A and B are shown apart, each in its own frame.
Chain A
Amino acid sequence: QLQLQESGPGLVKPSETLSLTCTVSGGSISSYYWTWIRQTPGTGLEWIGYITYSGSTSYNPSLESRVTLFVDMSRRQVSLKMRPVAAADTAVYYCARGRGASAYYFDYWGQGILVTVSS
């Protein structure tokens, strides 16, 4: 059974860098679109971007200038970096597996990690 587990600091200071890692276990990391999605009470679910096993990426234009995704096949990890962060980036961040033909829905999700941006 595929499992995704997010990890990283739960508290980040404004203007600093948010760094999260998603570790994939129990299934292939190839041929899918490893995606980050965040959720806030105010804005709901927001697609951040995806990365493939080969390193191809796509980002939400609203976040593209601040976000970078990385993949480490040997560690079976996908990572997210966002900077600089502000209070509005406080959210639960999910890692998910995207699948589909040329656009993607999300069939497996991590449990999510709450990140608070505060000094």
Chain B
Amino acid sequence: EIVLTQSPATLSVSPGKGATLSCRASQNIGSNLAWYQQKPGQAPRLLIHGASTRATGIPARFSGSGSETEFTLTISSLQSEDFAVYYCQEYSKWPPWTFGQGTKVEVE
């Protein structure tokens, strides 16, 4: 089973500023990584798949990068609706597919 480690656990950012979230995989997963956003009381929402492809309807301020074991989600200018918890998920060869423990982006 692949372990995903997200950092930091909490990120304090002012609205309008940028944020960089990290996800590290315990083994090479190529580009088979997705990012999700979750707000309180809601289901996760797909932001990015294939490490860097934005899902339908996702604003361009969200971007993903990385490959193999190191991945990054960047939010270029945080809007009020972006304060949430972000999870990465790997979907490499075999199940079970796993999620990171999450990074909470909060208002500084």
Chain A residues within 8 Å of B, Cβ to Cβ: 44-47, 49-50, 58-62, 94, 96, 100, 102-107, 109-112
Contact = CB atoms under 8 A, between A and B. Distances in A.
Contact of B43 (A44, A58, A110): A110
B71 interface: no
B46 A106 contact: yes
A105 B89 contact: yes
Given A103-B93, A104-B91, A109 B44 contact: yes
Interface in B74-101: 87, 89, 91-101
B55 A45 contact: no
Chain B: interface size category: 20 to 34
B44 A60 contact: no
B96 A111 contact: no
A62 B96 contact: yes
6 contacts: A45-B99, A105-B49, A105-B91, A107-B46, A107-B55, A112-B43
A60 B99 CA distance: 13
A47 B42 contact: no
B97 A47 contact: yes
A105 B34 contact: yes
Given A44-B101, A104-B91, A105-B89, A94 B43 contact: yes
A111 B91 contact: no
A48 B63 CA distance: 28
The 4 closest A-B pairs by CB, nearest first: A109-B43, A105-B34, A45-B99, A103-B91
B96 A47 contact: yes
B34 A106 contact: yes
Contacts of B93: 102-103
Given A58-B95, A100-B49, 10 more contacts: A44-B102, A45-B89, A45-B99, A96-B43, A103-B95, A105-B91, A106-B34, A106-B44, A106-B46, A107-B55
